[in-house]
Amino acid sequence: MRVLIIGASGGIGAALAAQARARGADVTGLSRRDDGLDVTDEASVARHLGALTGAFDRVLVASGALVINGQGPEKSLRALDPGALAAQFAVNAIGPALVLKHAARLLPRDRRAVFAALSARVGSIGDNRAGGWYGYRAAKAALNQMLRSAAVELARSHPHLACVALHPGTVATEFTRDYLGRHPAVAPSEAAANLWRVIEGLGPQDSGCFLDWAGKTVPW
């Protein structure tokens, strides 16, 4: 099995890559830190993914950011900043969509394949009871819609594909360190194991879904 992981230098991405290799998969990892891949720059995405050949049975997007350029989640409408909102969309919604645009040719058409991007439960509109976190919530909701639309389109050309949004749970990484509070968190290795269990159980009937780390449907 060939696996492509975008964001492979991050806490969850690195754990996903390590566990895939431990299972005998041929893993290609790309990240901004190690390879210069900038998911917000289409030329960078096109260059890095264009250099890849063959088919990948699993393409996982584990990139993303909660704090960008020192701007953390907003607590109120007064804190909204157009530049910070645009940055959230660029990293957390547009970036993964660009990856899918350029990775679609790498997905096999004749056998089961999975394209999964890490979303977040806070991106659920139906599950939003706390408010706040405007930019991050909205960007993840936009990502979910991108993946839902792509699943409809790709079903025509890739009938065995599952294209999904996955919520990994609360994971103890640099990404979440300052925002965990009293929330329980799992180690990246545990989160990766949970995600792989869900991924390996996916089929085309699941394409277009938003699922959590236990394989349960998350409300849109």
Alpha-carbon distances, residue 91 vs 28, 59, 117, 143 (angstroms): 21, 18, 12, 10
The topology under which CATH files domain 2-212 is Rossmann fold (3.40.50)
Q: How confident is the model at residue 88 (pLDDT cuts 50, 70, 90)?
A: very high
Give the separation between CA 54 and CA 108, rounded to whole angstroms. 9
Q: Which helix (H) or strand (E) holds 146?
A: helix 134-157
Q: What is the pLDDT of residues 173-208, one digit of tens each?
A: 765 556 555 567 899 999 999 999 999 999 999 999
Residue 168: name the closest of 147, 127, 201, 198 by CA: 198
Question: DSSP of 8-45, one letter per residue?
Answer: TTSHHHHHHHHHHHHTT-EEEEE-HHHH---TT-HHHH
Residue 182's pLDDT is what?
A: 59
Give the separation between CA 81 and CA 135, rounded to whole angstroms. 9
Give the separation between CA 158 and CA 111, rounded to whole angstroms. 8
Q: Is the pLDDT of residue 108 over 60?
A: yes
Residue 107's pLDDT is what?
A: 98
Q: How confident is the model at residue 172 (pLDDT cuts 50, 70, 90)?
A: confident
Average pLDDT, the chain: 95
Residue 185's pLDDT is what?
A: 81
Torsional class of 54: left (φ above 0), alpha (ψ -120 to 50), beta (otherwise): left
Task: Kindly report the number of other CB atoms within 10 A of residue 118's CB atom.
Answer: 26
Q: Is the pLDDT of residue 29 over 60?
A: yes
Give the separation between CA 113 and CA 15, rounded to whole angstroms. 20
Q: Are 208 and 164 in contact (CB under 8 A)?
A: yes
Instruction: Pick the more confident residue, 185 or 7.
Output: 7
Give the separation between CA 217 and CA 44, rounded to whole angstroms. 33
Q: What is the pLDDT of residues 125-156, one digit of tens each?
A: 999 999 999 999 999 999 999 999 999 999 99
Residue 183's pLDDT is what?
A: 67
Which of 4-8, 149-153, 176-180, 211-215 is predicted with the least confidence, judged by mean pLDDT?
176-180
Give the separation between CA 194 and CA 211, rounded to whole angstroms. 12
Q: Is the dihedral of CA 146, 20, 212, 107 positive or negative?
A: positive
